[in-house]
Amino acid sequence: MASNKRLLVLPGDGIGPEVMAEARRVIDWMGRRRAVGFDIQEDLVGGAAIEARGTPITDATVAAAKQADAVLFGSVGGPQWDKLGFAMRPELAILTLRRELGLFANLRPALVLDPLVDASTLKPEVVRGLDLMIVRESTGGIYFGEPRGVETLPDGSKRGINTEVYTTAEIERVARVAFELARKRQGRVCSVEKANVMESGLLWRQTVTALHARDYADVALSHMYADNCAMQLVRNPRQFDVIVTTNLFGDLLSDLASMLTGSLGMLPSATLGAVGPDGRRAALYEPIHGSAPDIAGKGVANPLAQILSFAMLLRYSFGLEEDAALVERACTEVLAAGLRTPDVMAPGCRQASTEEVGAAVVAALDRLGA
């Protein structure tokens, strides 16, 4: 067996543990059948960690994440923790990991698989064959900018403050990730901001333009205001190949883009840091969907986004393209065979539980990997 890769698994809250259990079956299969072995450590984050340890993520968990070759994350949050103060929110777990591991490039693909072309609320002719990648900056911008907070004014009323800040270096490093990805795809990058109203947006545009001229002239670059981009994503999503944008706009646009594909339950994501001097790159993989407390514990959650996040992990952290493609093919086969969780249910398909879909993916892997 090849030397083991270190994986930190963080299932989190809500449907996180359920869908992660199915991803674990696929991980086990990789070890058994493809000699892709992992040393797995599992830990609590989010609401689960608040209950057990009084904090959404401990320093020890952050340290373990730094030690690991890759982190596979589930989802965090739930209504029972909504009233806690800002320093105690389950979401702090993922925000802390992004910040502490320097995970600045959040890759969010929106891919319409053929068997799911009817699951989209848009017309099939608009979304068929859609394959776009949003590269969202994820350690800067208004999520982390200072000053921030709520202050009390002399008259007793309050003032809430958040700050959008980007430096040249922050813009360049995320734009590089987008240009490099585009070279392996259709060779087109659309950079998205609000340069018409925001100084930081104007700097973003100028910086991306200069970097492009300097190092990536072979890639086709266009620019778009974020509001227009939202409109264009619904009007004609296939005009895009790679979109690169700020933290907040990327948060909004990636939710929008995910629904072009029919279900949030289908989409994985990768969040990458810089390549260090030792050649290692911090990386975290998670489904785009949240913890979905309304369906947690019912066995109806779609495990495919979590399983596809593991496929991205194989590809981006370990260069195991063939194994990644195998997992993706197995997921597509299960959908094509008509075995579906309710979120992607269609006429003529059979409704299946989270576990049944996971088992079917493993069975498809057995067939395909034989």
Residue 56 or 262 having the CB closest to ligand IPM: 56
Residue 245 or 332 having the CB closest to Mg ion: 245
Number of shown-chain residues binding Mg ion (CB under 5 A):
1
Contact flag: residue 69 with Mg ion (CB under 5 A)? no
The number of residues making up the chain comes to 370
Contact flag: residue 103 with ligand IPM (CB under 6 A)? no
Q: Establish whether 118 is a catalytic residue.
A: no
- Other Cβ atoms closer than 10 A to 15: 30
Q: How far is the CB of 62 from ligand IPM (least distance, A)?
A: 16
Choose from ligand IPM, Mg ion, none: what does 215 bind? Cβ within 5-8 Å by kind.
Answer: none
Contact flag: residue 137 with Mg ion (CB under 5 A)? no
CA distance 152 to 93: 28
In this structure, are residues 254 and 41 in contact, taking their beta carbons and an 8 Å threshold? no
Q: Establish whether 143 is a catalytic residue.
A: yes
Q: Establish whether 155 is a catalytic residue.
A: no
* Residue partners of 133: CB distance under 8 A and separation at least 6: 107, 108, 109, 110, 181, 185, 241, 242, 243
**Which residue among 69, 137, 170, 251 contacts Mg ion (CB under 5 A)?**
251
- Three-state DSSP at 137 gives strand
Residue 19 or 94 having the CB closest to ligand IPM: 94
Contact flag: residue 95 with ligand IPM (CB under 6 A)? yes
CA distance 247 to 141: 6
Q: Are strands 220-225 and 188-193 parallel, antiparallel or unpaired?
A: parallel
Q: Which stretch binds ligand IPM (CB under 6 A): 90-98, 180-188, 318-326, 336-344?
A: 90-98
In this structure, are residues 135 and 177 in contact, taking their beta carbons and an 8 Å threshold? yes
Residue facing ligand IPM at closest CB distance: 91
User: And the tokens for 249?
Assistant: 């706009």
Binding characters for Mg ion, 203-242, by CB under 5 A (x = yes): ----------------------------------------
Report the Cα–Cα distance between both ends of the chain, in Å, rounded: 18
In this structure, are residues 329 and 50 in contact, taking their beta carbons and an 8 Å threshold? no
Q: Give me the helices (H) in 44-123, please.
A: 47-53, 59-67, 92-100
Q: Establish whether 255 is a catalytic residue.
A: yes
Choose from Mg ion, ligand IPM, none: what does 94 bind? Cβ within 5-8 Å by kind.
Answer: ligand IPM
CA distance 40 to 186: 36
- Other Cβ atoms closer than 10 A to 225: 17
CA distance 250 to 271: 13
**Which residue among 251, 328, 343, 356 contacts ligand IPM (CB under 6 A)?**
251
Q: How far is the CB of 261 from ligand IPM (least distance, A)?
A: 15
Q: Establish whether 194 is a catalytic residue.
A: yes
Residues marked as catalytic: 143, 194, 227, 251, 255
Residues making contact with ligand IPM (CB under 6 A): 91, 94-95, 251
Residues making contact with Mg ion (CB under 5 A): 251
